[in-house]
């Protein structure tokens, strides 16, 4: 802890002692000034020293009543100058009070009182010493008074500047904390969407394949065995994707091998094969010139197709579905259609189906529309940018 911090803490609890401290050197200087004569040192003129001490008494409350203290000390000092013109310390108490007024009061009041005090001190000094108003010693006292006011304003300006700097630093720290909390919230929402997509998709397939196996167990054991094999494959895939998603929550120093790669459009064929094995025929068509996509676009496209096919298989009771990937110059257009029941898929009203698709697309600057087809069935259309715009600074 530095000396300045110790002083501020001490003075905050001892305001009157702090305000009275300047009186000590003022009285000592007054005593020394009255003890110096033409023939050397002599006994101080105690009456003048007492008068100087009297002028310092109001300084005890100078922080609380800066204007009143400045006017009172000035009146006492001018009186002392008039009756004892040879005291060198005059008007020392007024200088302290004017400094305090400039430091604690308004700029307008400080300079009005400061300039008026400088003129008054110069005038009284010139009158008591039979000198010109523009004499060297008179102007020196004028400069002292103006300097006390200017010093007080400078100290106040520096304190305000430091306070503003601390406020800016605190505001910047709060902004960083709020940004960190916002990013954490966004990451939680994204991970929640990933977990929903993974669980909903694979559990739907496992449920469908388990139904097939149960139905064929006695009549066609081979096909039932094949369905059970698909259940094994899908459950393993679900565990792998869950491990990949939960791996995002691992510590930075975890081994790289503990994280599985995130799904991409290159894995779409595996996804469609699992859907087909679950009993829903799916066709995939690609148009346009395929090009590398941003990782976020790849993941979003995969999850939208996954969710749309899961909804078609689980909620719409579709008998077939079609996926079209159309690569344009600036965007990837994904269209997923089925021939299931018209109307929104059941179970999507809670924010985990179509809402999740829209949130994913919006997060990377894309969009998702969905609705029933006139000829029957349901259609999901997503427009995703091929490359992501840089984040604003």
Instruction: Give the mean pLDDT of the chain.
Output: 78
Q: What is the pLDDT of residues 261-275, one digit of tens each?
A: 677 888 888 888 888
Residue 392 has pLDDT above 60, yes or no: no
End-to-end CA distance of the chain: 37
Residue % of the chain over a pLDDT of 90? 12
Among candidate residues 70, 72, 77, 80, the one with its CA nearest the CA of residue 111:
70
User: What was the pLDDT predicted at 247?
Assistant: 61
How far is Cα 196 from Cα 89, in angstroms, rounded to an integer? 83
Q: What is the pLDDT of residues 225-239, one digit of tens each?
A: 777 777 777 676 666
User: What was the pLDDT predicted at 254?
Assistant: 46
Mean pLDDT, residues 300-317: 84
Residue 40, phi-psi category: left (phi > 0), alpha (psi -120 to 50), beta (remainder): left
Between the alpha carbon of residue 1 and those of residues 7, 79, 92, 166, the distances in Å are 10, 45, 33, 18
User: What was the pLDDT predicted at 136?
Assistant: 77
Between 16 and 153, residue with greater pLDDT: 153
Do the beta carbons of residue 232 and residue 210 sit within 8 Å?
no
Q: What is the pLDDT of residues 154-189, one digit of tens each?
A: 998 998 898 888 888 888 888 887 887 887 777 777
Mean pLDDT, residues 107-117: 91
Mean pLDDT, residues 63-87: 82
User: What was the pLDDT predicted at 263?
Assistant: 78
Structure-block tokens of residue 368: 């998702």
Between the alpha carbon of residue 379 and those of residues 130, 248, 286, 295, 384, the distances in Å are 104, 32, 17, 25, 16
Among candidate residues 383, 354, 368, 378, the one with its CA nearest the CA of residue 196:
354
Q: What is the pLDDT of residues 333-377, one digit of tens each?
A: 999 999 887 554 444 443 457 887 888 888 888 999 998 888 888
Between 210 and 149, residue with greater pLDDT: 149
Predicted confidence band at 255 (pLDDT cuts at 50, 70, 90)? Answer: very low
Mean pLDDT, residues 104-118: 90
How far is Cα 287 from Cα 221, in angstroms, rounded to an integer? 40
Domains and CATH numbers, the chain: 3-173 (no CATH), 280-393 (3.30.565.10)
pTM of model > 0.75: no
Residue 87 has pLDDT above 70, yes or no: no
Between 261 and 44, residue with greater pLDDT: 44
Q: What is the pLDDT of residues 134-159, one digit of tens each?
A: 777 778 888 888 998 999 999 989 98
């Amino acid at each position: 802890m530095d000396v300045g911090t110790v002083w501020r803490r001490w003075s905050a609890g001892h305001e009157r002692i702090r305000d009275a401290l300047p009186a000590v050197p003022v009285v000592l200087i007054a005593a020394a000034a009255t003890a110096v004569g033409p023939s050397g040192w002599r006994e101080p003129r105690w009456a003048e020293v007492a008068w100087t001490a009297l002028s310092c008494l109001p300084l005890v409350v100078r922080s609380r009543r800066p204007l009143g203290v400045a006017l009172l000390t000035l009146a006492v000092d001018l009186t002392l100058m008039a009756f004892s013109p040879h005291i060198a310390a005059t008007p020392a108490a007024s200088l302290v009070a004017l400094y305090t007024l400039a430091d604690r009061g308004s700029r307008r009041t400080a300079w009005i009182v400061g300039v008026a005090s400088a003129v008054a001190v110069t005038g009284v000094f010139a009158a008591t010493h039979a000198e010109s108003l523009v004499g060297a010693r008179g102007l020196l006292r004028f400069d002292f008074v103006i300097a006390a006011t200017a010093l007080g304003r400078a100290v106040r300006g520096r304190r305000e500047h430091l306070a503003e700097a601390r406020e800016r630093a605190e505001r910047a720290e709060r902004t960083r904390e709020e940004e960190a909390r916002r990013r954490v919230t966004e990451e939680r929402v994204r991970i929640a969407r990933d977990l929903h997509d993974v669980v909903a998709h694979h559990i739907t397939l496992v449920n469908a394949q388990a139904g097939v196996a149960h139905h064929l167990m006695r009549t066609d054991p081979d096909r039932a065995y094949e369905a059970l094999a698909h259940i094994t494959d899908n459950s393993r895939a679900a565990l792998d994707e869950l491990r990949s998603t939960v791996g995002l929550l691992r510590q930075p120093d975890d081994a790289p091998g503990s994280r599985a790669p995130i799904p991409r459009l290159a894995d779409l064929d595996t996804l469609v094969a699992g859907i087909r094995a679950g009993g829903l025929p799916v066709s995939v068509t690609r148009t346009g010139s395929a090009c590398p996509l941003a990782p976020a676009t790849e993941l979003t496209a995969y999850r939208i197709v996954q969710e749309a096919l899961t909804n078609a298989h689980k909620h719409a009771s579709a008998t077939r579905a079609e996926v079209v990937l159309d690569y344009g110059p600036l965007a990837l257009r994904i269209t997923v259609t089925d021939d299931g029941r018209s109307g929104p898929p059941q179970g999507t009203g809670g924010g985990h189906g179509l809402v999740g698709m829209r949130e994913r697309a919006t997060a990377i600057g894309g969009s998702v529309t969905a609705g029933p087809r006139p000829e029957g069935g349901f259609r999901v259309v997503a427009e995703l940018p091929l490359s992501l715009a840089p984040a604003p600074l």
